[in-house]
Amino acid sequence: LKSATEEIETLIALMARLPGLGPRSARRAVLHLIRKRSTLMDPLATLMGHVAEATRECSRCGNFATSDICDICSDPARDIGEICIVEDVADLWAMERGKAFKGRYHVLGGMLSALDAIGPEDIGIPSLLSRIVSEQVREVILALNATVEAQTTAHYIADALREANVQVTSLAQGVPIGGELDYLDDGTIQAALRARKRF
Amino acid sequence: LKSATEEIETLIALMARLPGLGPRSARRAVLHLIRKRSTLMDPLATLMGHVAEATRECSRCGNFATSDICDICSDPARDIGEICIVEDVADLWAMERGKAFKGRYHVLGGMLSALDAIGPEDIGIPSLLSRIVSEQVREVILALNATVEAQTTAHYIADALREANVQVTSLAQGVPIGGELDYLDDGTIQAALRARKRF
Share of chain A above pLDDT 70, in %: 99
Residue B7: HSE in the Cβ half-sphere, 13 Å Cα cutoff: 21
Q: Give the pairing of strands B82-86 and B139-142.
A: parallel
Mean pLDDT on B100-124: 94
> Does pLDDT of B190 surpass 90?
no
Most A-contacting residue of B2, B6, B8, B18 (CB-CB within 10 A), to test interface: B18
> Does pLDDT of B174 surpass 90?
no
Of B20, B46, B54, the CB nearest to A29: B20
pLDDT recorded at residue B79: 95
Per residue in B91-108, pLDDT (tens digit) is 999 899 888 899 999 999
Residue B190: HSE in the Cβ half-sphere, 13 Å Cα cutoff: 3
> Does pLDDT of A21 surpass 90?
yes
Report whether A17 contacts A6 (CB < 8 A): no
The overall average pLDDT reported for chain A is 92
C-alpha dihedral, B70 to B76 to B82 to B83, nearest 10°? 10
Interchain contact, A44 vs B10, CB within 8 Å: no
Interchain contact, A32 vs B18, CB within 8 Å: yes
CA–CA min distance A163, chain B (Å): 35
pLDDT recorded at residue B2: 63
Exposure pattern of A95-124 as b/e (b: 16+ CB <10 Å)? beeeeebebbbbbbeebbbeeeeeeeeebb
Q: Please state the ipTM of this predicted complex.
A: 0.82
What's the distance, CA A147 to chain centroid?
15
Task: For residue A8, report the phi and psi dihedrals to the nearest 5 degrees.
Answer: -65, -40
Residues 6+ apart with CB under 8 A from A39: none
CA–CA min distance A3, chain B (Å): 7
> Does pLDDT of B162 surpass 60?
yes
Mean pLDDT on A159-187: 87
> Does pLDDT of B43 surpass 60?
yes
Tell whether A94 lies on the interface with B, counting CB pairs under 8 A. Answer: no
Tell whether B93 lies on the interface with A, counting CB pairs under 8 A. Answer: yes
pLDDT recorded at residue A3: 72
pLDDT recorded at residue B187: 83
Tell whether B15 lies on the interface with A, counting CB pairs under 8 A. Answer: yes
Tell whether B89 lies on the interface with A, counting CB pairs under 8 A. Answer: yes
Per residue in A60-106, pLDDT (tens digit) is 999 999 889 999 999 999 999 999 999 999 999 989 988 889 999 99
Mean pLDDT on B72-96: 94
pLDDT recorded at residue A77: 96
pLDDT bin (cut points 50, 70, 90) of residue B192 is confident
Helix A125-134 × helix A148-160 angle, to 10°? 40
Of A15, A45, A52, the CB nearest to B37: A52
Residues 6+ apart with CB under 8 A from B65: A4, B55, B56, B57, B58, B71, B73
pLDDT bin (cut points 50, 70, 90) of residue B176 is confident
Interchain contact, A20 vs B18, CB within 8 Å: no
Find, among B136, B127, B138, the residue nearest to B166 by Cα.
B138
Largest CA distance in chain B: 72
Q: Give the pairing of strands B82-86 and B64-65.
A: unpaired
A15 vs B182: which has the higher pLDDT:
A15
Pick the range with the lowest mean pLDDT from A149-163, B23-37, B146-160, B167-181. Answer: B167-181
C-alpha dihedral, A126 to A127 to A133 to A134, nearest 10°? 150
Find, among A140, A137, A108, A136, the residue nearest to A124 by Cα.
A108
Cα torsion angle, B94, B96, B99, B103, sign: positive
Residues of A in contact with B65 (CB under 8 A): 4
* CA–CA dist B100, B97 (Å, integer): 8
Interchain contact, B19 vs A28, CB within 8 Å: yes
Per residue in A140-162, pLDDT (tens digit) is 999 998 889 999 999 999 999 99
pLDDT bin (cut points 50, 70, 90) of residue B129 is very high
Tell whether B47 lies on the interface with A, counting CB pairs under 8 A. Answer: yes
Task: For residue B131, report the phi and psi dihedrals to the nearest 5 degrees.
Answer: -65, -45
pLDDT bin (cut points 50, 70, 90) of residue A2 is low
CA–CA min distance B198, chain A (Å): 36
Of A18, A40, A90, the CB nearest to B14: A40
Task: For residue A170, report the phi and psi dihedrals to the nearest 5 degrees.
Answer: -135, 160
> Does pLDDT of B1 surpass 60?
no
Interchain contact, B51 vs A64, CB within 8 Å: no
**DSSP reduced 3-state for B99:** coil
CA–CA min distance B21, chain A (Å): 7
Tell whether B48 lies on the interface with A, counting CB pairs under 8 A. Answer: yes
The overall average pLDDT reported for chain B is 92
Report whether B119 contacts B156 (CB < 8 A): no
Report whether B25 contacts A51 (CB < 8 A): no
How many C-beta neighbours within 10 Å does residue A61 have?
A: 23
Mean pLDDT on B15-26: 94
Of A14, A70, A71, the CB nearest to B43: A14
pLDDT recorded at residue A73: 95
